[in-house]
Structure 1
Amino acid sequence: MDRRLTPATDRVALRGSGIARDMLADGRPMRVAAPVADLLRAPGGARDRQLLHGADVTLIEERDGWGFVQAAADGYCGWVALSALTGERPAITHRVTAAATHLYPAADFKRPERGSLPMGARLSVTGTEGRFARLADGLFVPVQHISDAAAEDPAEVALRLIGTPYLWGGNSRLGIDCSGLAQAALHGAGIACPGDSDLQRDAFPETETVQRGDLLFWPGHVALALDARTMVHATAWTMSVITEDIAAAIARIDAAGDGPFLGARRPRLDDRIAFP
């Protein structure tokens, strides 16, 4: 079993998962309240991925201020600080579609901001005041930065994050890695996508031709095609999200000993996630 997709710790398994453990848990629905929360391999351990504000999870075990959860969006499992979670789950109505946005105490952009949220954060909007949306927690966000409809083009979503610093396991404008960028782009278009590049490669069918929106793979790396010649990716080469010529990238990565190019895969446009 792949530990990343296995809803069980060494002590507790999610009831109904078919996994044998000494204890079974029904699981408690929770939601990420922090702007971004690290999803860790072990309590206080290394980061595998990140969960964004508004992400729904199932809490399976609590241990010393940490919770073992399974993310609803992609099934990814790991440990997250319990302080980043909430049991309050008002209806989700919108997502942040700008690269990032600010939260305000009133419908006034001149007021000091109370925080920020990354692209992909899920929101509960209860009304509007002028050019601001009022959230269930009483804060406000610019209406220009949110939407209740998925984007039509994953590549356009990825391009919003150009210049974002590279961060291993990152999933947001604060820092993102290659598979985080691919997932952000596809999820922004309402298309299901796993969290890591090897899982992404296994999830989608091969294609001999390359077109906009295809995923391009190397060992441990993934990029998103903008067309047959150009791609966008989060790369440790520049420590940022960049566009690059595909042929030049293949040659560069081979020369660095990080190849070979493993080909292209085409996301399943009919495999949708709930949006917002």
Structure 2
Amino acid sequence: MKFPNNNQLSPFHRVFQVPKGAVLTLLLTSLLYWGLNVNHSTANAISLVQPALRDKPGTACAKSDKLGTACAKSERTTVSSHGKSAQLAQNTNQQSKVLPKRIAKAILRDASKRSDIPMRDLQVTQATPKTFSNPCIFKFGEVCTREYKPVEGWEVNVQVKNDSWTYHVDKSGSQVVLDPKVSASQPTAMPKALEATILRDASQRSKTPVAQLKITQATQKTFGNPCEFKFGEICTKEFNPIGGWEVVVAGGSQSWTYHVNESGSQVVLDPKAASQ
């Protein structure tokens, strides 16, 4: 059978007759295009898997065999990281609920001074972290405004013999306040200088020699404000505390009640006794 030569081909056959070089070029171009599509699809697949790994570590890893090993390592790392963060937060929270030793010592030192009992015989029985709404509440004020000026600190109970004393202390330990309702009776703990000052005043008022006068009771107290300190019968509920003593002096058939501050600079006789 004879084939026609190129010159004898019909116009239709001539249109579809392509050189070999052109065919090779078309083939390489097709392969390259196919390869780019494969890479692009793989990149898209990975980008879809990664958010799933972050949100649900186990799910994406289970659906992808190729990423199995990497997913397992990533999941273990994520769980370990979350575990350490949770443990750190828990430890920090627990530490914030523990009364610092230096603050406990400051409170026990104050209780020891007031009760004349060695620190080793005193014990903190309870310590609760609190946010006091304002300084008035922090200082055990009974009637306080609604001003919000918070004081971060602690409410602490101290066992003193058979009694329990309540303290408020700020978080720095610079302010240690004993509940004014607590009174420690300690006849021998009042400084001798205060005793001498009070006896001298009682002697001058009663015209009785100091040798014939005797302090029968001395109670350490925190007076709510200057009005209460001065034996005021009608006082406001202002809380402006004065630390000091309530002292009873006896001479013959008479007795006098005094209030004296801690420094001895203010000595006030009960007006009822002065009028007798």
TM over 0.5: no
TM-score (norm 1): 0.23
TM-score (norm 2): 0.23
Task: Specify which structure has the higher proportion of strand.
Answer: 1
